[in-house]
Chain A
Amino acid sequence: MSNNDTVADRKIVTFTLGKRIFGIDMTSLIEIREWEEPTPLPNVPPFIKGVTNLRGNVIPVVGLSERLGWEPSAIHPRSCILVVSIAGKQAGFLVDEVTDIVAINSQEVQPAPDVEIGEPSVIAGLVRITARGADGTKSQEGQMVLLLDLDALSLTKHLDLAA
């Protein structure tokens, strides 16, 4: 890995779902809030946990883990909601833990191999980051981050199919 010579031009927020590390672009992030039980909605797919009040706006809360095809995340004290903006619409994603904000270089992002998680297209690419250890030192080993394609996760698109 030659990431020492390249310039970081992109910031991502990394978070965990189970043991996997995911990332989304910082530019899509609106805020991170504590988990708060949303108001459940009837007649929606199970991955939509309900709606919550974001400063006067009603936004849906999505169980991201289920949305991607895994078992639902268990709620624990570090659970939080990533509020993102997708094509002008706002949504909250339930994630297990927000880990870091990392600068990466777009050229280091590798296209996703055809991984079988729900729909392959929701993974925009893979990137290896050098994770900080608990003591703040950088391990040279690095971790793989799955970059999510938020547009592919668009709720309206999915719900149109579901409806």
Chain B
Amino acid sequence: MSDELDEIQAIFFEECTEGLTVAEEGLSAMQNGDTSADTIASVFRAVHSIKGGAGAFGHVALTHFAHSFENLLDAVRGGKIEPTLPLVKVMLIAFDTLSDHVSAATGQADVPEDADMIARLDGILVAGGLSDEDEGLAPAPSAQAPAPDAAKASEPSAEDADPFGFEPVTVDIAQLDGDKGGPADWLVRFVPGNGDLANAGEPLLVVREVETLGGEIIAVDLGDMPGLRDLDTESAYFGWTLRVPGTVEESAIRDCFDFVSPEAVVEITREEGAVAMAAAPELPDVRAQVDPAGDLDQMLSVVQSIAEVTAVASPSPGTDAPRDVGTKYPDKPSEAVSQTIRVDLAKLDMLLNLVGELVIRNSILSDRLSSADQQRVELPELARLTRQIQDNVMSLRAQPIRQAFSRVPRMLRDLGAETGKNINLETIGDTTEVDKGVIEKIGDPLTHMIRNAADHGIESAEERIAAGKSPDGTIRLSAEQKGARIFVRVKDDGRGINREKVFAKAVEKGIVPADAQLSNEEIDQLICAPGFSTADTISNISGRGVGMDVVRSNVEALGGRVEIASVPGEGTTFTMILPLTLAILDGMIVRLAGQRFVLPLAHVIETIQPEPGQVKRTTPNNEVIDMRGEYLPIKRATEIFGLNDDRPIEDSLVVIVESDTAGQVGLVVDTIDDRREVVIKSLDQNLHPIRGLGGATILGDGSIALILDIEALVASPTQTRFSPKGMAA
């Protein structure tokens, strides 16, 4: 039972994450001047859903904070408070607090200190906007941290503003009652949706909740009850009409129906029947439960009927709600167009494994058949289908890179607050799809790159003005796919890399000799050198002990590389070039001492058959190859791996590979067998990573070939030190 609850809660947290993303996108859009009703409503909806779910799972602090935030958003949405830029900034800070609350609810962080923020939000709400002298620091008296349970849905209170647009000004009930002069009782009609019971939406609980407000059942509608033969025990047939005392706020009643399905009919009217409306309360995930097309029709008819009713209804405290319902739902079905289900990643990986095996069995089968049989249509068809299945399974793991980018805006706000710099973020191509594994692993490098850019790339406002730039810095974050690679760029418009300082520091650290002649690009690369970016290095390139060498090693571990381009005074661009997927590799099947290995094609520049005399020995242990006048070092993988090989160099092939650490290097192999895409199997899953190997793969005949790790190979075993010469590449 508690397992189930945990599972549901896990879904709630996932939805929180999605909601936070939506809210942040909306707020960013508002910051950039888009204050359209849709944008504001999307932020409101996201925060409202988080509040609803949090309440259901008893996250009191989160509910409480979301409630205050929601109230303010609601006022903005209702046009009562102008969404000025300063206000949006306050809301962004509130959003950060909300994120922290969600983290706290998941147990990943401590509950943040939010009393000031709540006071500030409530203060703005009461004042009807951000007053001139207010940076909201003086909390409004009415906002003295109300008890958390004031936000509980079942308790009517002044804090409990209606999520559908009920006047959100903090008023006290006595005054409200005075104005209304003893309002008429509410009549609440509730007919659960047909599928509610099957979806665990127990109507009885809802009715009981209304009863706690003082409601009593005055009629039960059995009209929809079918004959016994047609009775479906999973369906709900009853409808109820309840009378609730008029002093209860409408929002309190409505909150009882927060979690009924949109199919359900909920009508709340004053007994004299002024306003009728069908509630379409928000559910965390409506998509999963209803057919989107049917839903749309139903929504539209509901909206229409509401519009008719409002046209005749006299204005009363409840009547701005229908307008909001109207603006709220037309865009909901568009979200419902792509339906999603959640799948455990391990299941996908298992599926991928099995499909890989299917591909292999397929080619084994093909090998066993005579060539005449192989040409028959069934077999190629089977092979094609199997490939398609494999491609599709691979694409299941692809996710928009937005997931990795989503943490950046928050980070920049924090960095901006720390450094006093105002930094704008431009994001391009965040829908680019990348393997889930890549997304998980680029988070850290991305963080380091952004920090580096914000901290050391972007100058202070004064410096920028002096340099004739806009006082606000800009960081552009972009992602694009080119072939089988993903390019992720972090571009700042800051001061660029100070090459003299970098070079001087590198000499001081003993990374390069003092008399080294380095090109600008080579100097830029130095900031990625191990041992360069430690905490005590020069202030304008490194920071917080976060080294760019960490970025480089992380990216290389993914089979990618980092490029740096810098123009003094104009900015620096860091580019991460990553493989599209971690699971498939385009490789060249080569033989070393007769054994098959896979050489990642991404590293291969060219292949040559050496002429006699083209390979020269420079020292007893070192050889070079003369490539059109340029001498490139040669590595014998067989020696590195301790394989027995006395094949003369003239009978071998030399594959020129390019590595980030050592530039171009010739790798001696016996022969090249084939070129193909291989499925990468990690060795450390059952063993331990082995130096020089990037993994293993299973070939068409079921045998295993090891995948060479070029970076480690060309650097091993002695040349692990950073070599500036190698950077010529």
Q: Say yes or no: A43 contacts B686, CB within 8 Å.
A: no
Known pairs A39-B705, A43-B692 / 13 extra A-B pairs, C-beta < 8 Å: A42-B642, A53-B698, A56-B356, A56-B360, A56-B681, A57-B681, A58-B685, A58-B686, A58-B696, A60-B687, A90-B686, A155-B687, A163-B691
CA distance A48 to B685 in the complex (A): 15
Which of B356, B595, B685, B691 lies in contact with A89, CB distance below 8 A?
B685
Give B353's nearest chain A residue, CB to CB: A56
Contact of A144 with B by CB under 8 A:
no
CA distance A104 to B696 in the complex (A): 40
Query: Which B641-658 residues have a C-beta within 8 angstroms of A?
Result: 641-643
Q: Say yes or no: B693 contacts A59, CB within 8 Å.
A: no
Q: Say yes or no: A42 contacts B698, CB within 8 Å.
A: no
Q: Say yes or no: B357 contacts A51, CB within 8 Å.
A: no
- Which of A's residues lie within 8 Å of B, judged by CB? 38-44, 48, 51-53, 55-60, 89-91, 155-156, 159-160, 163
Contact of B376 with A by CB under 8 A:
no
CA distance A163 to B691 in the complex (A): 9
User: Across the interface, which residues of B come within 8 angstroms of A55, CB to CB?
Assistant: 357
CA distance A55 to B357 in the complex (A): 7
CA distance A111 to B161 in the complex (A): 71
CA distance A40 to B692 in the complex (A): 14
Give B682's nearest chain A residue, CB to CB: A58
Name 19 interchain pairs, CB-CB below 8 A, sorted by A: A39-B706, A40-B595, A41-B690, A41-B706, A42-B643, A42-B692, A42-B693, A48-B687, A51-B696, A53-B698, A53-B704, A56-B353, A56-B360, A56-B681, A58-B686, A59-B687, A155-B687, A159-B687, A160-B688
Give B705's nearest chain A residue, CB to CB: A39
Contact of B85 with A by CB under 8 A:
no
User: Across the interface, which residues of B come within 8 angstroms of A42, CB to CB?
Assistant: 640-643, 690, 692-693, 706
User: Across the interface, which residues of A come within 8 angstroms of B705, CB to CB?
Assistant: 39
Question: In the assembled complex, how far is the CB of residue A120 from the closest CB belonging to chain B, in whole angstroms?
Answer: 24
Known: A39-B705, A39-B706, A56-B698. A51 touches B687 (CB 8 A): yes
The size of the chain B interface, using a CB distance under 8 A, is 28
- What are the 8 tightest A-B residue pairs by CB atom distance, in nearest-first order? A42-B641, A159-B688, A39-B704, A56-B357, A58-B681, A56-B353, A60-B687, A58-B696
Contact of B702 with A by CB under 8 A:
yes
Q: Say yes or no: A57 contacts B641, CB within 8 Å.
A: no
Contact of B365 with A by CB under 8 A:
no
Contact of B314 with A by CB under 8 A:
no
Contact of B354 with A by CB under 8 A:
yes
Query: Which B670-720 residues have a C-beta within 8 angstroms of A?
Result: 681-683, 685-688, 690-693, 696, 698, 702-706
Q: Say yes or no: A44 contacts B703, CB within 8 Å.
A: no
Q: Say yes or no: A56 contacts B706, CB within 8 Å.
A: no
Q: Say yes or no: B641 contacts A43, CB within 8 Å.
A: yes
Give A60's nearest chain B residue, CB to CB: B687
Known: A42-B642, A42-B643, A57-B353. A163 touches B688 (CB 8 A): yes
Q: Say yes or no: B356 contacts A91, CB within 8 Å.
A: no
User: Across the interface, which residues of B come within 8 angstroms of A53, CB to CB?
Assistant: 698, 702-704
Question: In the assembled complex, how far is the CB of residue B585 from the closest CB belonging to chain A, in whole angstroms?
Answer: 14
Give A38's nearest chain B residue, CB to CB: B704
Q: Say yes or no: B686 contacts A91, CB within 8 Å.
A: yes
Q: Say yes or no: A58 contacts B688, CB within 8 Å.
A: no
Which of A41, A48, A90, A156 lies in contact with B693, CB distance below 8 A?
A41
Residue from A39, A42, A44 whose CB has the most chain B CB atoms within 10 Å: A42
CA distance A160 to B360 in the complex (A): 33
Q: Say yes or no: B702 contacts A43, CB within 8 Å.
A: no
User: Across the interface, which residues of B come within 8 angstroms of A160, CB to CB?
Assistant: 688
Question: In the assembled complex, how far is the CB of residue B689 from the closest CB belonging to chain A, in whole angstroms?
Answer: 9
Known: A39-B704, A43-B690. A58 touches B683 (CB 8 A): yes
CA distance A42 to B698 in the complex (A): 17
Known: A53-B698, A56-B357. A39 touches B688 (CB 8 A): no
Q: Say yes or no: B683 contacts A39, CB within 8 Å.
A: no
Known: A90-B686, A159-B688. A58 touches B698 (CB 8 A): yes
Question: In the assembled complex, how far is the CB of residue A12 from the closest CB belonging to chain B, in whole angstroms?
Answer: 23
User: Across the interface, which residues of A come within 8 angstroms of B686, CB to CB?
Assistant: 57-60, 89-91, 155
Which of B354, B687, B704 lies in contact with A156, CB distance below 8 A?
B687
Give A91's nearest chain B residue, CB to CB: B686
Q: Say yes or no: A58 contacts B704, CB within 8 Å.
A: yes
